[in-house]
């Protein structure tokens, strides 16, 4: 029972940020906050497109061609055309030699980029309720039921960059040639399939609520730098409140180190205290913006077969 109690306690506990986000708004953002958040959505899209472009700019065409020719060589072997397969593998090897010569320090040659975006349209109470139900399922050993509830609880952009490992892939391709020449076609096909299964996929996950919060804080910092009217002062508070809610969503969805949200809450409390005295200026947001940079973003690398 200790296990169950600890989980329920964890789910029930709210950080300062979540408490701030849920206070006085019926557990939901106000219309003004929703409007402010919607206004930064174009900035989110721009960020997505810029990141996608940056990743695509890293692609190396010779490596892309080498991968394609490897797959074509395998297809040729399936058709019993050993001569064409040898020709394609020679071309693939030549392409990879160009890559290695041009990028001697490169470990993985990027050949493909995929961008996927997932978003959850739920408020904080709904997310915490889903977590509570999933926790009960886990405690009862009903893992698959919990997975169905947890799976949609994500709001993120995923960037996958597939690359050829230059330390092993070229040699693996070269090793196939003597097999084909010796008539060991089936062994050659297995070797090529193995080579195509050694591609490296680097995955970057960027939480969208945190990205929205960053953009909202950027707007707040710019507004704080100007000579503000009463309406501007109110809008400044709206931007901060909207950012708080987005950070609370990110926390509820489990992005980043939970302890850091308490740091954010303390920094925001200092900013709001200065707001109350009308002393806020752009510089007071510097530490918060610095701490939020890349917060919650994760990177991982795995092996994955090439797509046919």
Nearest to 34 by CA among 212, 286, 222: 212
Which tokens belong to 292? Answer: 């939020």
| Average pLDDT score, the chain | 87
Which tokens belong to 263? Answer: 């740091």
pLDDT at 135: 95
> Is pLDDT at 308 greater than 70 in this prediction?
no
* C-beta separation of 276 from 236 below 8 A: no
> Is pLDDT at 9 greater than 90 in this prediction?
no
Q: How far apart are CA 46 and CA 282, in angstroms?
A: 23
Q: How far apart are CA 154 and CA 156, in angstroms?
A: 6
Banded pLDDT at 1 (limits 50, 70, 90): very low
What are 109's strand-pairing partners? 164
* C-beta separation of 300 from 202 below 8 A: yes
> Is pLDDT at 8 greater than 50 in this prediction?
no
Q: Which domains does the chain have, with CATH numbers?
A: 2-39+208-292 (no CATH), 55-119+155-198 (1.20.120.1940)
What are 159's strand-pairing partners? 115, 204
52 or 199: whose pLDDT is higher?
Answer: 199
> Is pLDDT at 6 greater than 50 in this prediction?
no
DSSP 3-state of 81: coil
Max alpha carbon distance in the chain (Å)? Answer: 84
Banded pLDDT at 278 (limits 50, 70, 90): low
14 or 127: whose pLDDT is higher?
Answer: 127
The tens digit of pLDDT for each residue in 75-88 reads: 999 999 999 999 99
Stretch 39-60: mean pLDDT: 90
What are 118's strand-pairing partners? 156
DSSP 3-state of 254: coil
Question: Which runs of consecutive H residues, i.e. helices, occur in the chain?
Answer: 2-12, 16-22, 31-39, 41-56, 61-78, 82-102, 124-139, 143-150, 169-181, 185-196, 208-224, 230-252, 258-276, 286-292
DSSP 8-state secondary structure symbol assigned to residue 282: G
The tens digit of pLDDT for each residue in 87-102 reads: 999 999 999 999 999 9
> Is pLDDT at 166 greater than 80 in this prediction?
yes
Place of tokens 């990205």: 211
The tens digit of pLDDT for each residue in 241-275 reads: 999 999 999 999 999 998 899 899 999 988 888 87
* C-beta separation of 147 from 184 below 8 A: no
Question: Which runs of consecutive H residues, i.e. helices, occur in 57-168?
Answer: 61-78, 82-102, 124-139, 143-150
**Would you say the C-alpha torsion 94, 96, 102, 105 has a positive or negative sign?**
negative
Percent pLDDT > 90 in the chain is 69
> Is pLDDT at 17 greater than 90 in this prediction?
no
CB neighbour class for 174 (10 Å; exposed up to 12, middle 13-18, buried from 19): middle
Weakest-pLDDT range from 106-115, 117-126, 295-304: 295-304
* C-beta separation of 220 from 239 below 8 A: yes
Which tokens belong to 51? Answer: 């990141």
Stretch 34-39: mean pLDDT: 93
């Amino acid at each position: 029972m200790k296990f169950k109690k600890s989980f329920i306690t964890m789910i029930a506990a709210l950080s300062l940020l979540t408490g701030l986000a849920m206070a006085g708004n019926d557990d939901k953002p106000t219309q003004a906050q929703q409007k402010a958040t919607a206004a930064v959505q174009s900035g989110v899209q721009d960020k997505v497109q810029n990141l996608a472009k940056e990743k695509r700019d890293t692609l190396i065409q010779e490596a892309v061609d080498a991968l394609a020719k490897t797959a074509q060589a395998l297809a040729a072997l399936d058709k019993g055309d050993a001569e064409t397969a040898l020709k394609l593998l020679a071309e693939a090897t030549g392409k990879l030699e160009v890559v290695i010569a041009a990028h001697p320090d490169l470990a993985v040659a990027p050949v493909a980029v995929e961008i996927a975006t997932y978003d959850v349209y739920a408020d904080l109470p709904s997310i915490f309720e889903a977590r509570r139900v999933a926790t009960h399922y886990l405690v009862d050993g009903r893992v698959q039921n919990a997975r169905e509830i947890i799976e949609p609880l994500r709001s993120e952009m995923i960037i996958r960059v597939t690359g050829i490992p230059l330390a092993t892939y070229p040699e693996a391709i070269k090793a196939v040639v003597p097999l084909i020449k010796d008539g060991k076609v089936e062994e050659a096909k297995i070797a090529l399939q193995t080579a195509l299964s050694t591609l490296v996929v680097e995955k970057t996950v960027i939480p969208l609520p945190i990205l929205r919060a960053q953009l909202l804080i950027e707007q707040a910092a710019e507004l704080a730098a100007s000579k503000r009217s009463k309406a501007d002062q109110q809008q400044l508070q709206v931007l901060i409140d909207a950012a708080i809610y987005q950070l609370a969503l990110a926390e509820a969805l489990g992005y980043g180190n939970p302890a850091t949200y308490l740091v954010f809450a303390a920094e925001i409390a200092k900013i709001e205290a200065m707001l109350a005295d009308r002393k806020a200026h752009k510089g007071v947001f510097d530490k918060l913006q610095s701490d939020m940079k890349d917060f919650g973003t994760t990177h991982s690398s795995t092996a994955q077969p090439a797509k046919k």
